[in-house]
Structure 1
């Protein structure tokens, strides 16, 4: 069963809208965490709060996560434009963003898992453990969503490239 270029573009646009929602969710989560982290009204005071945020890389992850959300939104719009203008090379640039997001999330998740296994944080209170679990859960969910979108994109992107290339090739009937 073969589908035409219009069907592939519609599927790609659905993927781009899902990626746009992924970017908005990333921006919303890290924006909220930015507000929470820099308000820092924990019972152990501002000095311990700054130490905790620096040691866990949560403040660095929040700052990078805000940038990640903006980049996701921009690349989703770029993907929409590439699909509407039939530009395969521009559509494949989206894959760079997906790989970058996977690398950033993988780096922070690996660091947090290694830190959690070291037991250096035995002096944390329950709020610190809850906050650490929130970041790990969000990182895992955002990474899995990005892997899913990347898998679907490779299928759609390959089909899109093939269909556009096939459409632009001159046939024997038009050359004569």
Structure 2
């Protein structure tokens, strides 16, 4: 069966659901550790000195990771919802936003696992009994990192195929639009149409402007006596001849 864009979207939504379960698992584990540290860290039968050392080591190594884990579990579904919306709306650029969350989760887990291993011998001088949750923190961190890495590999494959399919679909839509009968008819009409006169596109205001310009030149020609034609048999203009006739003294017989 051919790989259609609908199948890619469905698989991407399934992948987002897996990542939501990954985030809920993270929030559940660190939420349980937060409650256990807040209420059930030291049983009554435990010596007070060992209990204080236990609280101190836990606060130094695991408290901050617990808070970050709670935030990580809460923000994971938000990124997955954005990812699902981007798949449904066919927005490939928005789907790649999920990578920021994936790299952030793996970076946090790798940082704290390496930090716990480096600082494992820093508390040997303290009277302390190793606890089961210490190994559990390491195992859960490693398991969440591997799971996130596997999801990210599948995501990159789906994201690349989805981006290619959306680009191919949009290219096909543009080609079908240009090849449609209505578009071809419009192109033929535009090619065979006669040239448009410049004055045909002008509105009533343009006609008024042209009439005003014509009247200006006519009035200018009437008022400027230097542009008058001379009378036949005369060296002066019409105005000059008229003034000479007016000023001429009447002759007496």
- Normalised by the size of structure 2, how large is the TM-score? 0.64
Aligned 1:36-75 pairs, distance under 5 A: 36-39=36-39, 40-42=41-43, 43-45=46-48, 47-56=52-61, 58-75=62-79
Q: SS in structure 1 opposite 2:3?
A: coil
Q: SS in structure 2 opposite 1:158?
A: helix
Query: Does 2:90 correspond to 1:79?
Result: no
Question: Which residue number in structure 2 is paired with residue 109 of structure 1?
Answer: 113
Contact kept? 2:54, 2:128, Cα under 8 Å: no
Q: For residues 72 and 173 of structure 1, do their structure 2 counterparts lie closer, same or farther at Cα, with a shift above 3 Å needed?
A: closer
1:83-103: CA deviations, max 9, x gaps?
A: 111111111100110000011
Q: SS in structure 2 opposite 1:78?
A: helix
Query: Does 2:37 correspond to 1:6?
Result: no
Question: Which residue number in structure 1 is paired with residue 141 of structure 2?
Answer: 139
Q: Which runs of 5+ in 2 are unaligned?
A: 180-253
1:51-77: CA deviations, max 9, x gaps?
A: 112322x01000000000011111111
Provide the C-alpha distance between the structure 2 equivalents of 1:16 and 1:105, rounded to a whole number of angstroms. 20
Provide the C-alpha distance between the structure 2 equivalents of 1:9 and 1:126, rounded to a whole number of angstroms. 48
Residue 171 of structure 1: how far off its partner (Å): 4.7
Question: Which residue number in structure 1 is paired with residue 166 of structure 2?
Answer: 164
Provide the C-alpha distance between the structure 2 equivalents of 1:173 and 1:59, rounded to a whole number of angstroms. 60
Counterpart among 88, 91, 99 of residue 95 in structure 2:
91
Provide the C-alpha distance between the structure 1 equivalents of 2:84 and 2:47, rounded to a whole number of angstroms. 47
Provide the C-alpha distance between the structure 1 equivalents of 2:174 and 2:92, rounded to a whole number of angstroms. 20
Provide the C-alpha distance between the structure 2 equivalents of 1:55 and 1:173, rounded to a whole number of angstroms. 64
1:24-69: CA deviations, max 9, x gaps?
A: 111111110110111222424453243112322x010000000000
RMSD: 1.8
Provide the C-alpha distance between the structure 1 equivalents of 2:177 and 2:82, rounded to a whole number of angstroms. 33
- Normalised by the size of structure 1, how large is the TM-score? 0.90
Q: Which runs of 5+ in 1 are unaligned?
A: none
Provide the C-alpha distance between the structure 1 equivalents of 2:97 and 2:73, rounded to a whole number of angstroms. 17
